[in-house]
Amino acid sequence: MIMPYEIKTEKVKNSRLPGIDFDKVPFGKVFTDHMLVAEYYDGEWQETSIMPFQELRLSPASTVLHYGQEIFEGLKAYRDHDGKPYLFRPYENFKRMNFSADRMVMPQIPEEIFMGGIKELISLDQGWIPTNPGGSLYIRPFMIANDEYVGIRVSENYKFVVFCCPVNSYYSEPIKIKIEQKYVRAARGGTGEAKTGGNYAASLYALSKGRQLGYTQMLWTDAIEHKWIQECGTMNVFFVIGDKVITPNLDGSILQGVTRDSLLTLLRDNEYKVEVRPISVDELVEAHRAGQLKEVFGAGTAAVIAQIKAIGYNDEDLVLPPFDSWEVSNWLYKTLTGIKHFDLPDKYGWMVKI
Ligand code: COI
């Protein structure tokens, strides 16, 4: 009999790794050799297995397919100069996964399964961690509700799955974003703070309209007045206005980003003037008119730091200054990637050895 949390492993016969060129992998389309699956039923976590990357078998009546009870995470693995694998701040993702699980009425995932499972999976697939500049191994844990039942209720069966992709930058160049003042990603009291697929699904209609106009992402605003800035959907957002670095406070409708938190730590420890507070569309537009909007950038695990070259507002583009003057985001990018790639000291203990 298999004891709960014991991880049973079936290895691939032939690795696909020799055919992979890390410099050329597109984001999220190339998968490592193995994945992890844990099953929850009868009120507890049962078998946990590592197996060759493969399709999941689900009933067409599986609850996740109809009602979207699902959550996910995104974290990254890197190597040190000796080639040893590390995870960047994985306990933050572990905590946020269980925060999202609570909000979506799903079971808590034990540390042995989340952390233990990811460590074992990454040890096995460590050859897939890129070492090229800007490369990393993106790890995607997720949990789905899996009752075979067409009615609405909190499910009793769940699957927790982890798979991984070697990746380069999510955005290969600076992007244009558009202030969204009609559609809503998340409202207070909703699920905006949980990392659940529905938030992303809800953003797609406005996103597709924005894409037709040449914007890569929406800059979401609050659901009631469309006055207060929230986040970008793929990342949190930061503004440099005058000599201050400003990011919206966590008000329950935006994601508690791990990269956001890391940047705030770096900024505060290096004497930058940081303000975490509500920021309105009017303040942004006025700062731009006054020549005080110096930098706008997104922060996320996939995106890392994404510089924004213009913000669409009504029918105009607020164009940002040339990037060589962007002292804050260029410094943050160098510092954060320096820590992740072991070129700078890890004084916060963010890199966790596998
Ligand atoms: C991440 O940054 O990990 C995300 O989940 C964002 C997604 C667009 C890839």
Q: How far apart are CA 200 and CA 207, in angstroms?
A: 10
Which domains are present in the chain? 8-168 (3.30.470.10), 175-340 (3.20.10.10)
Q: What's the token pair of residue 312?
A: 């669409």
Question: Is the distance from the beta carbon of residue 216 to the nearest atom of ligand 1 less than 6 Å?
Answer: no
Burial of 101 (0-12, 13-18, 19+ CB in 10 A): buried
Q: Which residue has the tokens 């505060």?
A: 268
Distance (Å, rounded) from C-alpha 347 to C-alpha 354? 18
Mean pLDDT of successive 10-residue segments in the chain (354 residues)?
A: 77 97 96 98 97 98 98 98 98 98 98 98 98 95 98 98 97 96 95 97 97 97 97 96 98 96 98 98 98 98 97 97 94 98 98 97
- 295 CB-contact burial (10 Å; exposed 0-12 / middle 13-18 / buried 19+): buried
Residue 74, ligand 1, Cβ within 6 A: yes
- pLDDT value of residue 141: 99
Gap between the Cα atoms of 253 and 178, Å rounded: 19
**What is d(CA 73, CA 101) in angstroms, rounded to the nearest whole number?**
11
User: Which contiguous run of DSSP H or E holds residue 310?
Assistant: strand 304-313
DSSP conformational letter for 214: T
CA of 291 to the centre of ligand 1 (A): 32
Ligand 1, atom 9: nearest CA belongs to which residue? 302
Model confidence, pTM? 0.96
Q: pLDDT per residue over 153-193, tens digit each?
A: 999 999 999 999 999 999 999 999 999 999 999 999 999 99
Res 183: pLDDT:
97
The terminus-to-terminus CA distance of the chain in angstroms comes to 28
Q: Residue 301: CB within 6 Å of ligand 1? A: yes
Q: Whose CA is nearest to atom 6 of ligand 1?
A: 234
pLDDT for res 119: 98
Ligand 1: which atom is nearest the Cα of residue 301? 2
208 sits in which H/E element: helix 197-212
Please report the pLDDT score of residue 167 as a whole number. 98
Sequence-ordered list of residues with C-beta below 8 angstroms from that of 177, at least 6 positions apart, any chain: 215, 216, 217, 218, 219, 232, 296, 298, 308, 310, 311, 312
CA atoms within 13 A on the CB side of 241: 19
Report how far ligand 1's centroid is from the alpha carbon of 287 (Å): 29
Residue 86: per-residue pLDDT = 98
